[in-house]
Amino acid sequence: MLRDKYQQFEVNSNDDVIKENKLITFIDGEGFDRFLQNLIKGLYISILFFCIPYFCFLFITFIL
């Protein structure tokens, strides 16, 4: 996974502590999948509620 390749190591006086990059963790984890799923839902809803009525308006305008 991406997370394993981009981990930053910080040496502590007691032992090694792994400090992970938060952005890589977000992209590699479940949060990014949920974000993309919500984005696709939002785009689909915007197509239904904005584009279809506009196409109906154009269709009626060109017929009349």
pLDDT of residue 37: 95
**pLDDT single digits (tens) 2-33:** 555 555 554 444 444 455 677 777 788 888 89
The closest of 17, 20, 16, 18 to 6, measured between CA atoms, is 20
Q: Which two tokens stand for residue 38?
A: 């919500």
At a CB cut-off of 8 Å and minimum separation 6, what does 24 contact? 2, 3, 6
The closest of 30, 49, 52, 29 to 41, measured between CA atoms, is 49
What is the reported pTM? 0.52
Per the listing, tokens 């949920």 go with: 34
